[in-house]
Structure 1
Amino acid sequence: MYDLIVIGGGVLGAFHAYHALEAGLKVALIEKDKAPQDATTRNFGQVVPSGMNTKWQNYGRESLRIYKDLQSQFDISVRQNGTVYLASDEDEMQLIEELHAINNQNGYASELLNKQACLDNYPGLKSSYAKGGLFYPEEVTVEPRIMIHRLLEFLKTEKKLAIYTAKTVTSCEHTGNIVNVETACGHKLKASKVVICNGREFKILYPALFAQSDLQVSKLQMMQTKPQGSGYHLPGSVLTGLSIRRYESFSECPSFSAIKSREAQGSPEKKWSIHILFKQATDGSVILGDSHQYADAKDIDDLGHGMDMAIDDFMVQKAKEIIDLPTYEIAHRWYGMYSQCKTKDLFQATVDEHIHIVTGIGGKGMTGSAGYAKENIQNLFNLTI
């Protein structure tokens, strides 16, 4: 008998388990695959509260504290190299200056960089592109294919989390004060509360509620170059002008609406919702991307299972206009899928007082999950953490 069963071993589920364990609860986590392999492992590994609106920036700032605390106890691949947004024209410069002022009001550290500082700090950055930048020294990166596995290992070995892998939950029923959970292979567990943090189990367990939701799925294409060699080092997360024109935090800037209204419509950037990001991995390779194609969650198959090479070619072309990497030879290509809500921050539903669904966190997952899950566990169990 557990106090909490978490269904879904991605970053959102893992941090729900972490905070419940920190509160002294007995916790089990059920993961449908042998190990997490969906959105949590198929992204850049950027923890960037700077890109969030005010509400989610607060969650993200708490996430930064949590990531750094965890790293001090166990190597989950956290590196504090900061985040930079590179402006390519006067409109983008105006936005980063306005966001810097908002950061000052909110007490969040950021530093305006002039053109020369950007060129000095980011090797290969083209003078023809960079006008200036906005740097966030407190922000971190993780290795997306490593972090979640190490976090779960830490929770299992050091915090006594019970982990059940390769088990798909097919039944979740509340009787009295107990929730009975059963998997496809007949494994049965009991808990006082259940939190479902996986869209697939949500769809299986509550199909009518899933069909009524406003969940949509985004398909993101990303690439990874071959290692750049020991002589090349690109620090932290590098986000560019298209990110400035897309991220939620900039939408709170006074000039944002007017600047967006002047953008050309029908461009490849608009068609595929592209913004160019760079992050160097620990092996020296550079992750590039990304694009966004959308479909309602019920129509996920419409997005297909292949890669659109026209998208990848366009992203490489745009990346070459920004940073002259030693090599743009691509070693890996992949796509990720994440769910998000059309009208809300994320999908939350209470089936009854003992069964809760939390999913559809979208692109906020790596940054916001740790901070958000802390608050949610506190609310669900009426705790002070």
Structure 2
Amino acid sequence: MFDLIVIGGGVLGTFHAYHALEAGLKVALIEKDKAPQDATTRNFGQVVPSGMNSKWQNYGRESLSIYKNLQTQFDISVRQNGTIYLASDEEEMQLIEELHDINIQNGYTSEMLTKQTCLHHYPGLKSSYAKGGLYFPDEVTVEPRIMIHRLLDFLKTEKNLEIHTGKTVKSCEHTGNTVNVDTACGSTLKGSKVIICNGREFKILYPALFAQSDLQVSKLQMMQTKPQGTGYSLPGSVLTGLSIRRYEAFSECPSFSVIKSREAQDSPEKKWGIHILFKQAKDGSVILGDSHQYAEAKDIDDLGYDLDMEIDDYMVRKAKEIFRLPNYEIAHRWYGMYSQCKTKDLFQTTINDHIHIVTGIGGKGMTGSAGYAKENIQNLFNLTT
């Protein structure tokens, strides 16, 4: 009998398990695949509270502390190498200056960088693009295809997390004070509470509930270059003008709505939801992207399984306008899918006092999950802080 069973081994589910274990609870985690392989492993690995609105920045800042603390115990690939937002015109400069002021008020460290400082610290940055930057020194990156696997191994070996992989949960039935969690392979786990962190999987558990929700799924295309070779180093998370015009943190800036109203509505950036990000992986390659295409949760299959090369080619062209990398030879292309709500910041519902669903965290997952899950576990189990 477990105090908590977590369904879903992505970053949101895993951090719910982590905080429950830290509270001394007996926890099991069930993951349908051999290992997590959806949105948690198919992203940039950028932990950027700076891009979030004030509410979620608080969760993100707590996440930073959690990531850094875990890294002191076990190498989960955390690197504190900061985040830069590069402005390409006067409007974007105005927005980063306003966000800098907001973060001063919030007590979150950021630094305005001149054009020359940006050109000095970010090799290959084109002078024709950069007007200045806003830098967040406390932010970190992780390797998304490494971090979650190492974290689960750590929780299994050091924290006694019981992990069941390759098992699809087909039903959760509550009887008395027990929830029976049945898997398709015939096994049953019993727990006092269940948290379902199902990512974009809406067809197995409670499909009617998700079909009637305001959840939608975003499909993102990303690429990874071949290693850039010795001597080239692009530090931290690099976000550009299109990110400044997109990220929710900037929507709190006084000038944001007016600046957004002046944007062309028929551009490729609008059509495909493109904003250009860069992050150098440990092997020297550079991950770049990304795009956003949307479908309702019930219509997820409409997004298809193809990579649109027109989108990829456009993103590479835009990236070349910003950075002169030693090479733009693409070694890998892929897409990721994550769920998000259209009217709320995440999807959270209780089937009864014992079964809880938390999903639809959208692009906030890698940054916000650790901090949010801590609060959610405290609330669900009536724990004192």
Shift of 1:200: 5.6
Tell me if structure 2 keeps the 8 A contact 1:217–1:297. yes
Aligned match of 1:377: 377
Aligned match of 1:323: 323
Q: Provide Cα deviations, 1:313-364, integer angstroms capped at 9, x if missing partner.
A: 0000000000000000000000000000011010001000000000010000
1-side partners of 2:263 and 2:214: how far apart?
28
Aligned match of 2:139: 139
One-letter identity of the residue aligned with 1:310: E
State the SS of the aligned residue for 1:204: coil
Aligned match of 1:176: 176
Aligned match of 1:314: 314
State the SS of the aligned residue for 2:243: helix
Aligned match of 2:32: 32
| Residue 164 (structure 1) aligned with residue 154 (structure 2) | no
Correspondence list, 1:153-302, <5 A: 153-199=153-199, 203-302=203-302
Correspondence list, 1:41-60, <5 A: 41-60=41-60
One-letter identity of the residue aligned with 1:215: L
1-side partners of 2:262 and 2:239: how far apart?
21
One-letter identity of the residue aligned with 2:83: T
Shift of 1:212: 1.2
2-side partners of 1:167 and 1:154: how far apart?
21
Q: Provide Cα deviations, 1:130-188, integer angstroms capped at 9, x if missing partner.
A: 00000000000000000000000000000000000000000100000000001000011
Tell me if structure 2 keeps the 8 A contact 1:168–1:201. no
State the SS of the aligned residue for 1:328: coil
Shift of 1:211: 1.4
Listed as ranges, the gaps of 5+ residues in structure 2 are none
Aligned match of 2:61: 61
Tell me if structure 1 keeps the 8 A contact 2:200–2:338. no
Q: Provide Cα deviations, 1:106-141, integer angstroms capped at 9, x if missing partner.
A: 000000000000000000000000000000000000
One-letter identity of the residue aligned with 1:205: L
2-side partners of 1:213 and 1:264: how far apart?
31
One-letter identity of the residue aligned with 2:300: I
2-side partners of 1:374 and 1:265: how far apart?
40
Tell me if structure 2 keeps the 8 A contact 1:170–1:201. no
Q: Which ranges of 4 or more aligned residues in structure 1 deviate by more than 2 Å?
A: 199-203
2-side partners of 1:371 and 1:261: how far apart?
33
2-side partners of 1:25 and 1:40: how far apart?
25
One-letter identity of the residue aligned with 2:34: K
2-side partners of 1:355 and 1:209: how far apart?
14
Identity %: 86
Shift of 1:224: 0.1
Shift of 1:312: 0.3
1-side partners of 2:300 and 2:111: how far apart?
41
Q: Provide Cα deviations, 1:211-244, integer angstroms capped at 9, x if missing partner.
A: 1111100000000000000110000000000000
State the SS of the aligned residue for 1:218: strand
Aligned match of 1:121: 121
Shift of 1:203: 3.6
State the SS of the aligned residue for 2:86: strand
Tell me if structure 2 keeps the 8 A contact 1:9–1:29. yes
2-side partners of 1:218 and 1:110: how far apart?
30
CA shift in 2, pair 1:326/1:200, >3 Å:
closer
RMSD: 0.7
Shift of 1:201: 5.6
Shift of 1:52: 0.2
One-letter identity of the residue aligned with 2:214: D
Aligned match of 1:10: 10
Correspondence list, 1:68-83, <5 A: 68-83=68-83
State the SS of the aligned residue for 2:351: strand
